[in-house]
Amino acid sequence: MRFAEPIADATAPLARRNPTAKVVAAMLLTLCLAVSLDPVTPAVAIAVELAVLPLFGLHYRALLRRLWPLLLTSALASASYLFFGQKTGETVAAFGPLTVTTGTLDSALSLFLRLVAVALPSIAVFASTDPTDLADSLVQNARAKPRFVIGALAAFRLLPLLANDWEMLRLARRARGVDAGRNPLANVRLFASTLFALLVIAVRRGTRLATAMDARGFDSGRPRSAARTQRFGPADATLIAASGMVGAVAIATSVYAGTFAPLLS
């Protein structure tokens, strides 16, 4: 099993950008989207995001295949606003005590668009970035501490092993004569105890890996060198600037359209 394999074509023009630059660009855009609560700001952002996805080496169809559960949950979360949001404006439809007004329609749509607009940049970044490159870049370009970044990278590699541990723990419980049958409460208890065992195993695996890393001189206080160089060039700075521009244009459009609704007012 491979975890979070980059699914993008790594040679695409924006996929090749510096990983830290990609992360900062995504964060910047997300920040702009948090400024306003209206639907126009995220709608403009989504339009631009969808337009540049191919430059990150991503194909719409492959992306949709992976992301439909996320879209569905965003839609469901937003739908709750339809019925339970603040009932302002005219009533559009009524189902007994549940009424949908133009106000709730507006806030549900805004929420859905914002979730999608925030998710897309992060997905573009992580789908087009190798975890090792990201870690290297965070250490070399963002001066992050190797102790945390490389440590997290190594821990990340253990995740597929945990999937196998989970399966073995489940089977071993059955072998020991423990099952829950059809009793839902017993099922929850068994799940919780298996989860706890997984936690214990995960800690032990992590400790062994940490010892092995320690034995190889990791975090020994000596200055670390870098086997792989990550460069931060003008194109990377441009990506960050462009992302800020997209955010600014989205907000400006919303102000011009008269829909701007500041988060803090």
Smallest CA-to-CA distance from 141 within 227, 236, 235 is with 236
164/205 Cα distance (integer angstroms): 13
Long-range contacts of 50-55 (CB under 8 A, 24+ apart): 50/120, 52/14, 52/124, 53/120, 53/124, 54/12, 55/12, 55/13, 55/14, 55/15
Helices (DSSP H) in 128-145: which residue ranges? 131-141
Q: Are 20 and 142 in contact (CB under 8 A)?
A: yes
Query: Cβ of residue 223: shortest distance to another protein, in angstroms?
Result: 5
157-190: b (≥16 Cβ within 10 Å) or e: eeeeebeebbeebbeebeeeeeeeeeeeeeeeeb
- Which residue, 79 or 195, is less far from another protein as judged by CB? 195
22/236 Cα distance (integer angstroms): 8
Q: Which residues of this chain interact with another protein, rule CB under 8 A?
A: 2, 130-132, 150, 153-154, 157, 160-161, 165, 168-169, 171-179, 181, 193, 197, 200-201, 204-205, 208-209, 211-229
Query: Cβ of residue 66: shortest distance to another protein, in angstroms?
Result: 15
Query: Cβ of residue 146: shortest distance to another protein, in angstroms?
Result: 9
- Which residue, 230 or 254, is less far from another protein as judged by CB? 230
Query: Cβ of residue 50: shortest distance to another protein, in angstroms?
Result: 30
- Which residue, 97 or 177, is less far from another protein as judged by CB? 177
Query: Cβ of residue 196: shortest distance to another protein, in angstroms?
Result: 10
Smallest CA-to-CA distance from 20 within 246, 224, 243 is with 243
Query: Cβ of residue 16: shortest distance to another protein, in angstroms?
Result: 18
Q: Are 32 and 251 in contact (CB under 8 A)?
A: yes
Smallest CA-to-CA distance from 250 within 28, 15, 70 is with 28
- Which residue, 83 or 156, is less far from another protein as judged by CB? 156
- Which residue, 120 or 190, is less far from another protein as judged by CB? 190
- Which residue, 132 or 259, is less far from another protein as judged by CB? 132
- Which residue, 42 or 151, is less far from another protein as judged by CB? 151
169/178 Cα distance (integer angstroms): 11
Query: Cβ of residue 33: shortest distance to another protein, in angstroms?
Result: 32
CB atoms near residue 67 (< 10 Å): 16
- Which residue, 218 or 232, is less far from another protein as judged by CB? 218
Amino acid at 198: L
Query: Cβ of residue 156: shortest distance to another protein, in angstroms?
Result: 9
